[in-house]
Structure 1
Amino acid sequence: MSVTLRFCGAARTVTGSCYLVETASGRFLIDCGLFQGQKTLKELNYGAFPFRPADIRAVLLTHAHIDHSGMLPKLVREGFDGSILATRGTIDLCSWMLPDAGNIQEAEVASLNRRNAARGRSEVTPIYTQADAVASLQSFRPVDYESWIDVIPGVRARYWNAGHLLGSASVEIEFANAAPSGRPLRLLASGDIGPEAKLLQPDPKAPSGFDYVISESTYGDRIRAPTTPQQRRERLAAEVREAASARGALLIPAFAVERTQELLVDLVALMERGDVPAAPIFLDSPLAIGATDVFRKHAASLDADVDINRIFSSPHLRFTETVNESKAIAKLTGFHIVIAASGMCDAGRIRHHLKRWLWNSRATVLLVGYQAHGTLGRFLQDGAKAVRIQGEEIRVAARIRMIDEYSGHADGAEVARWIAARRPIERGLFLVHGEEEAIAGLAGRVAERIIPAARIYQPMLDDVYELAAAEPRLLDGERRHRLAPEAVTHLDWHNDMSRLILDINDQVRAAADDRSRGVIIRRLRRALENTG
C-alpha cells in the first residue's frame, strides 16, 4: 500500500503545522495550523489549501495552539466534513481559542480596511470569521490518551501525552500491511514536546520502535541551563523587582494558554511571599481568561502541588475582558503588570500597550517565549531601536528583557533524548517545526550518535515523500511549492521595507540642517526614478 506524506506547513519554519497523509483508502491531516511571522508566510493563510478540503477524511490534532489548529475553521468552511480527533483538554481549549482567533481576524481586517480606504487601496476579507470558528467546533470528536482509534480504513492512531500544553499529544499512527514485509508501517508525529519538569504538565510520554518519526525542532540548536522551580521563580522575581524600581509598566506578551497560567502561578506566589512588590496583575485577554477557566476545569489532571483555584482567585489579579476595561489600564502610571496576547506581539491587545509604553524608559517588556522570524517580538528581542506598529513608528526606550524558563518546548538536548527513547527508528527521522539553524542544530546533535545521518530528513515546504518503500523517497515529479525556499527561511521584502523606512527617518533626522535633509530626499527620489 502506498503511503505519502506532504509537508504543508512547519517545514523550515516554526508555524503552520500541517501534514497531509495519503493512502489508497483516503487522505487525512496531522494538524491544520495558521502561519505566523513574516507577511509572505501569513499570506499563505489567505490562499487556497494545497489540497481539496472535501477530500480530507479526518484531522489528527496534536494540540490547541493556533499554529497547529488555527486553520481548522477555514478547512471546515471550504468543504471538510470529517472528524477532528483531539483530546478533551484540546477540545475545551479550542472552544475558546478558535472563536477568539476568528474575532481577532475580523477586528484586524476591519482596522486594516480603514487604513486601506484612506490610502485608496482595495478591501481584504478575513481568513475566517468568529462564526466560522464556532461552526467548526461541531466537527471535534474526543479521544483518550493511550487508546487506539480508527482513522480511515487500514489506519489507526493512538495519542500520548506530549507534556507541552493541557491536552497536548504525540500521535502514533499505524498503517496496516504498508511495510515491504507486509507488516504494519508505524509512524510517530511528535506534536510539540514539552521540557522535562515543566510546571503544570507531566513529562512527555510515547512508545518506541517506529519506521518514521516526525519531530519538532523549535529549540534544536539551544541548550538551557538546568533549572528548578525555585530558580525559575528567582529569575522572574529579579525581573519584576527591576521593573518595579523603574516605576513603570511591566508588559509581558504571553501566549494565552499555559504560558499565561504558569506566569500567574509564579507571580501570585512571589507576591504572597513578599519576594516582589505587590502590584495589580492585569490579565488583559478574553482568551486567556477563558483558558484559565478551562485550567480550573482540568485541575485534577495538572500538577497536584499547585492549588489552581486558590491562585486564580488571588486579589492581586485583575481580569479585563472588555475593550473599555483594557483601555482603562492606559490611565495607570506607576508600577503594574500587564499580561496580554499575542506572545510574539503580532496581534491582540499587547500591541496597544506597547504603543503606550515602548518609548518610555520607565517601562519593561519581558519576553517569555519563542519569537518567530519577522514578528514584532523578534525585532524587539534582537535590539531594534524603533519599530512600526499598525503603521506608526515607535522608538524603543523601554528595557527589553528575555527569560526562557517558561518555554513550553524542550530544548535541543531534551528533544534528542526524546528521539533516542523512540528507537529503533528504522527508516527515517523528519525534522520539522523549526527554523533552519534550529533544525541543523538538532540534526547535528542526533546524527550517528542516535540515528544514522543518512536517515535524517529536513523537508522543505510542500515536499512529498513516499513512505512505503524501503526508504523514504522524495517525489520530485509531484513538487508543487507555493513559495521559493528562500521566501520561507529569510526575512521578506515587507520586513526590509519597514527597516528601510525607519533607516530613512533616522538619516533625515540626523542630518545637520534642512539643506542636508533636502539632499538626502532628492537622492532617494532620483534612485526611485532610475528604477523605472
Structure 2
Amino acid sequence: MKLTSYGAAEEVTGSCHLIETSNHKVLFDCGLIQGRRKDELRNHDPFPFNPAELDAVVLSHAHIDHCGRLPMLIDQGFTGKIHCHDATADLVQILLKDSANLNARDVEYRNRKRKRAGKPLLTPLYNQEDVENTLDKLAPMQYLTSVKVAPGVSIKLYDAGHILGSAMVEITLVEDDETRTVVFSGDLGHRGSPILRDFSCLQKADLVLMESTYGNRLHRDWSETVKEVQEIASALSSTRGNILIPAFSVGRSQMILYTMARYFKEWDLERWKIFLDSPMAIRACEVYLKHTALYDEQAAAFYKKNGPLLSMPNLTFSQTADQSRAINAMQTGAIVIAGSGMCTGGRIIHHLKHNLWRADAHVIIAGYQAHGTLGRKLVDGKKTVKIWGEKIVVRATIHTVGGLSAHADQQGMMDWYASFEDTPPVLLVHGEVKAMQVLADRLTSELGARARAAQPGKSTDLLALDKFGR
C-alpha cells in the first residue's frame, strides 16, 4: 500500500494523488496546473502512471485545478467511474465545458502567432466531445455514504465547506490482514462563510493528506468582514456612478449575491440596478439554488422565510453579449458583478474600460489578486492601467475587502487536524513551499504531529508509517 502525489506537491494547483494496493489503484483528483505559462505547458505531458490501470477516481470538488485534466485521463485509457458529491457533478459540467472553450480560444490565438513565426501549431488539451465522455463517467454520491470503488477499497465523503459539494475523502484499504485509512482534506473551507456549513471534523486516520494553501496566513473574522462591507455600503449610499465587483464565477459570485440579499434593506440596495454579468456564474447559481439541503443553518432559515437565496427584485442575470454591452451605456446606478475575479479576462474587463476613468465610479475588490494581474494593479493604486493596449486613467475609487477567502486559514487547518486521535502523520499538499513549512512547524511544535510536505513523485509506504518522517 502506498500514496504518491503527482500534482499539487510543493505547489498549489494540479491536484493529483495516487493510492495503490498490490492489485488496485485509485486517484484523488485530476486537476489542471495553473500559473505561469511554463507551468501550464506541463498539462500537455503524459501522466506519470498508466490511466488504464486505475480502478476509480475520487473527486474532492469542482474547481478546475482539481478536475481540469479528467478528459485527458479518459483519452489516455481510463475507463472507470469518477466518484464525487452530487452537487460537484453538477458544477463539473459547467467548469469543464468552460475550460474546453477557454483552451480552444487560447490555442487559436497562440497558433495565429506561431503560424506567422513558422513554429509548430499547438493542439487543445481537449474538446467538448472529450468533456461529454468525461461527464458520462461521473458517479454522484452523498456525504456520509460508504461506496466500494474496488475490491478492498471503499470511500466516504464528508463536507469540506469550501464550495458547494466540496468534500474531504476517507478511503479505507483492506489487503490480506492489513487495514489502512487515509483521509484527504481536499480544500477546507473558511469557517463561518455564507451559505455553506463549516467543514466536518474526523477522528480516525492512519495518514492525513492535508491542503496548506494558507498555511502561513490568518484570515479576518467573518463578522469583521461584514462590518467592513457595511461601512463601504454606507459610504456609497448617496453616491452616483456605477459599482463594479470582479468575482469568481463559482462560489464567490453566489456568496456576494446571497450577502447582498441578506442585507438588502440595511445597505440601501433597492436604489441600484444589480447585474450578474457572467453566463458561467448564472449557471452555477442554478446549482446553488438546487441543492438547498447543503445550506448552513442561517442560509436555510433565510430560504425558508424569503425563498431562493440569490433573488432580489432589482437583480438581472445578463446572459448574452448584447445584454452585457447594454450595461456599459449606464453611467450611473448600476452594481455589476462579473468575472474574472482577478480582472484577467471576461466581461469585467469591458466594464472596467468604460468606468475606471470616471471619478464617480467605484470598484470593490473582493478577493486575492495575484501579482501581475490588472486587479493587483488597481489594489496597488496604479494611476493608469492598460486594457487591450489602451491606456486608461484610473479615477474610480478602489475598495478592497479582506476575509472573503473560501479556504481555511492556518488556524482553521490546525483546528481540523487537532480533531484526529493519536496525532496521525501528515503529508502537506496544495501550498507553496513556504506556507507548507510554516504549517508543518506549527503542527509539530504545538500538536506533536509528524508533518512534512509531499514531494512530487515520491511515495509514502502506508505499511511503514511508524517510520514516517524519520
Give the TM-score, by structure 2 length: 0.88
The equivalent residue for 2:426 is 429
Q: 1:260, CA displacement in angstroms?
A: 1.0
Q: Distance in 2 between matches of 1:332 and 1:105?
A: 32
Q: 1:155, CA displacement in angstroms?
A: 1.6
**CA 1:402–1:126: 2 relative to 1, 3 Å:** farther
The equivalent residue for 1:212 is 207
Aligned amino acid, residue 153 of structure 2: V
Aligned amino acid, residue 316 of structure 1: N
The equivalent residue for 1:104 is 102
The percent of aligned pairs where both chains have the same amino acid is 39
The more displaced of 26-35 and 44-53 is 44-53
Q: Distance in 2 between matches of 1:174 and 1:119?
A: 53
Number of aligned positions between the proteins: 464
* Structure 2 counterparts to residues 511-526 of structure 1, below 5 A: none
178, 182, 185: which is aligned to 1:187?
Answer: 182
Structure 2 gaps, min length 5: none
* Structure 2 counterparts to residues 382-461 of structure 1, below 5 A: 398-426=396-424, 428-452=425-449, 455-461=450-456
The equivalent residue for 1:147 is 145
Q: What is the Cα-based RMSD across aligned positions, in Å?
A: 2.9
Aligned amino acid, residue 288 of structure 2: F
Q: 1:28, CA displacement in angstroms?
A: 1.9
The equivalent residue for 1:89 is 87
Q: Distance in 1 between matches of 2:238 and 2:120?
A: 48
* Structure 2 counterparts to residues 90-489 of structure 1, below 5 A: 90-114=88-112, 116=114, 123-177=121-175, 182-228=177-223, 231-240=224-233, 242=235, 247-276=240-269, 278-302=271-295, 303-307=299-303, 309-358=307-356, 362-372=360-370, 376-378=374-376, 380-381=378-379, 398-426=396-424, 428-452=425-449, 455-471=450-466
Structure 1 gaps, min length 5: 475-532
Encode CA deviations 1:153-204: one digit per residue, 9 max, x unaligned: 22211111111121111001111148xxx44111100011112222111121
Q: 1:378, CA displacement in angstroms?
A: 4.9
Are the equivalent residues in 2 in contact too, given 1:7–1:18 (CA < 8 A)? yes
Q: 1:240, CA displacement in angstroms?
A: 4.3
Q: Distance in 2 between matches of 1:396 and 1:20?
A: 48
Aligned amino acid, residue 267 of structure 1: M
Q: Distance in 1 between matches of 2:400 and 2:116?
A: 38
Q: Secondary structure at the match of 1:430?
A: strand
Q: Secondary structure at the match of 1:126?
A: coil
**CA 1:380–1:171: 2 relative to 1, 3 Å:** farther
Q: Distance in 1 between matches of 2:390 and 2:80?
A: 44
Q: Distance in 1 between matches of 2:47 and 2:406?
A: 28
Are the equivalent residues in 2 in contact too, given 1:170–1:192 (CA < 8 A)? yes
Larger radius of gyration between Structure 1 and Structure 2: 1
The equivalent residue for 2:60 is 62
Q: Distance in 1 between matches of 2:397 and 2:112?
A: 32
Q: Distance in 2 between matches of 1:206 and 1:150?
A: 22
The equivalent residue for 2:38 is 40
Give the TM-score, by structure 1 length: 0.79
Q: 1:77, CA displacement in angstroms?
A: 2.6
Aligned amino acid, residue 444 of structure 2: A
Q: Distance in 1 between matches of 2:237 and 2:105?
A: 33
Are the equivalent residues in 1 in contact too, given 2:194–2:259 (CA < 8 A)? no
The equivalent residue for 1:500 is none
Aligned amino acid, residue 71 of structure 1: R
The more displaced of 158-167 and 124-133 is 124-133
Encode CA deviations 1:355-382: one digit per residue, 9 max, x unaligned: 4445655544433234456655455555
Aligned amino acid, residue 165 of structure 1: I
Q: 1:301, CA displacement in angstroms?
A: 2.8
Are the equivalent residues in 1 in contact too, given 2:237–2:267 (CA < 8 A)? no
Q: Secondary structure at the match of 1:133?
A: helix
Q: 1:39, CA displacement in angstroms?
A: 1.6
Q: Distance in 1 between matches of 2:444 and 2:468?
A: 19
